[in-house]
Amino acid sequence: MKDVHHEGFWRRKKFLPLFFEHRLHNKQVWTSGERYHSKEELHPQALYPWRNQGSGVVRVKRDWIIPPIRVLENSKQIPEDLVQIKSDKIFTSEVIYKLEGPGVDQEPKNLFEIDDQTGVIRSKRPLDREKHNSFTLKAFALSPSGQRLENPTTIEIVVLDQNDNRPTFTQTQFVGTVPEFSVPGTSVMSVLAMDADDPMTDNAALSYSIIGQETVPANAVTKTMFGINNETGAIYTRDVGLDREVVKSFRLKLQVADMGGIGLTSEGVAIIHVSDINNNAPQFSPASYSMRAVENRKDYEIGRVNVTDRDDRGTGNWEANYFISNDPNGNFAIATDPTTNQGILMVVKPLDYEAQSEYILNLKVENVNRLSNKAPNLPVSTASVVVTIVNENEAPRFREDPIQIVVPESVVPGTLLKSNIAFDPDDSDLRYEISRDPERWLDINKDTGDITAKRTFNMRSLHIKNNIYHAVVRVTDAGGVSTTATVAITLKETNDFAPQLLPLSGSVCRGAGQTHTGMVLTAVDEDFPPQAEPFIFEMPYDLSVNWTVIQVNDTHAVLQPIVKLEEGEYAVTVRVSDSGSPALSAYAQVNVTVCLCDSYGDCKSEVGAFSGSSVGISFFAVIIIIASAVLLLLLLLLAVAVTTCGRRHHIKKGTGLLIGESEDDIRDNVFNYDEQGGGEEDENAFNIDLLWNPHDAPSTPGSYYPGYGVPRGKQPLRKDAPHNLPSPTYPRRPPADPTDIEDYINDGLEAADNDPNVPPYDTALIYDYEGEGSLAGSLSSNASGSSEEDQDYDYLNDWGPRFQKLANMYGPC
């Protein structure tokens, strides 16, 4: 049983079940025995093909069409029978009916049900068209075992609308604007309302209207100024007289109704602002002003002018633009204060009271926006401002800054360099002075300001940069107001120095066959270009006939002989000139050695040169000088040896090298050991630097302090202590505990620092503490064997190479 819904009718393919549409309000019943028409009018033979004449019966499969079932929303008759379906299988077997689809077993559920025995379809709850406007269900005919007896039949249920929804505006408040002085019929804005009812019915046919009008300020306008299209909601002007200066805005009370204006209603609000147009020109108030300005000042405010404008404040229709019509030099300017709309008059260039003491300015004012053609035809507002200039004591003014002076560097002291350098606008007396002149080259007249040269300029001064020397002058008027200016002196180089030839000695290879037969010459000039190079090298014809000088470039030349000369020394006179104006020149004598040269162009050895020389000191004389120097050195060494031997034999008894005054007072001034202790068993020994003790130094006049090489008799004295005071006591005994070594040394340093008899600088002290526990015996034991006779030092030869020097010094001569 397959049913297809098509344009309001049922179509049945196979069997003809009975269908009923049962409405309680009219008890209408549809049966399959009644004739239904499809869209096209069917021919009887098409509906009943078995009535056609011909052989056999032809059965054409046709579908019957059933119209949708219409159900009114919000029905109070619940439950309500909607339709009954039956299958032709009821004549042969038991049939059970089932219903599926939205409203039954799909969302929204439990809206419809079917009697499984009778096939009656009912509504279980009131329907809401605004939520679901139609339902498409499927009905099934099943056997008791659940077997489908026929194809399912589609049933469409349409929910009919009721006017159960009020129309509502889409906004709580509509806002629009309209320019002032708009003509009637000018569109202002549109409002919109919505109705949830069926738009195809009158339930959603809306009608708009204006039911009230208010103004801001209140009661500014009493006539109705706006109308509304009742179908579209478009609001428009309907009368003249919209003036923003009179009324700022309107508040309209709106109403919308359905059913074409006779149904349900709702209300809304529309705010309409009257926008400003530039229909009011700004006007000066008042039209004349008087102000004061101080001379010699700029960029400051001297006063303000006021205007009135009835247009909307803060807009371009209200904002003013000011103009000065008679200020050709641009001494003044006027700007607009954005908050107050006042004109701010300022001085932008310094004014001079002596030149002009009063200005009369003509001002004009306009709006930023162009004036509307609806504005009154009035002339542009103008105002006059009288500006009085206040005189003040002006500072003196220099006629130029910097003061430019161009002079030659060799200007004569006392020369006038510049005059009439400054003036005073108030015609007061001026005093001049030089506030900066690092080289003290300038002088200035205190009354006239004339600048003169005090000394000759020097181009080599460190204060000259790019040939310009800078100084500063100050001028002060009678009121104490002063100003300064820079003096820029451009020095023109003059030819003050003659060039000097270099070098003044050299060598030239003998023979024309040599590659290098000339001596390169150059020159130096203390002047700067263009008073220096290029140099011109010349040979005086009457002084050096055998030589010539060849110019190489602007700064160098080559001196060479023009004839073959013998080896020897030659004095050649050369003249060098600069390019100054006027040019200066100098003569110089060049000592040239003509010699034999090797393959590289260099002179050969001195021996060969001396032996082959015919001039100067002979070779044999040099040999005699060298031999005399060697002999003198030998005699000096012999005298030193004799003095040493004599000193050794004059050592007094009991004062030998290894004998001390007591066992406790034996000390060595110099220790030169390769080890710093008594061997492996010397556990208390430390690697202590040997410091010199001034008390161990020899006291003989002329003796030297160790490490300083300063004779005792020439010892420098300390200035921070009196002379010839006794020296403090220096530590004698080593500490018992080696850990006190630091204290032991610090005590000695402190004693030396407080000793007024030591040199005025840090002095190294020598201590004889070499450690404890050494297996070697003390040298003090040598004192026990001393006698009144001279000691024999031959045993020093047996002590090894380390004592060989002592053996040589104190052994037999």
pLDDT tens digits, one per residue of 501-534? 999 998 888 754 554 478 899 999 887 788 788 9
Mean pLDDT for 692-714 is 40
pLDDT at 539 over 80: yes
The C-alpha atoms of residue 201 and residue 259 are separated, in whole angstroms, by 8
The C-alpha atoms of residue 526 and residue 545 are separated, in whole angstroms, by 31
pLDDT band at 691 (very low <50, low <70, confident <90, very high): very low
Residue closest to 527 by CA, chosen among 487, 498, 489: 498
Number of C-beta neighbours around residue 51 at 10 A: 9
**Residue 484 near residue 473 (C-beta atoms within 8 A):** yes
Residue of higher predicted confidence among 694 and 410: 410
Lowest mean pLDDT among 52-61, 259-268, 278-287, 486-495: 52-61
Helix, strand, coil shares of the chain as percentages rounded to 5?
10, 30, 55
Task: Convert the pLDDT of each residue in 760-769 to its tens digit.
Answer: 555 455 545 4
Task: Convert the pLDDT of each residue in 575-602 to its tens digit.
Answer: 999 888 888 888 899 999 988 887 776 7
Average pLDDT across the chain, whole number? 77
Residue of higher predicted confidence among 35 and 356: 356
Amino acid at 63: D
pTM: 0.42
Amino acid at 266: S
pLDDT band at 688 (very low <50, low <70, confident <90, very high): very low
The predicted structure's pLDDT at residue 644: 66
pLDDT at 775 over 60: no
**Residue 316 near residue 309 (C-beta atoms within 8 A):** no
Place of tokens 């090797």: 598
The C-alpha atoms of residue 10 and residue 67 are separated, in whole angstroms, by 7
Beta strands in 36-162 (DSSP E): 69-72, 80-85, 96-100, 112-114, 120-123, 134-142, 153-160
Which residues are registered as beta bridge partners of 432?
A: 475
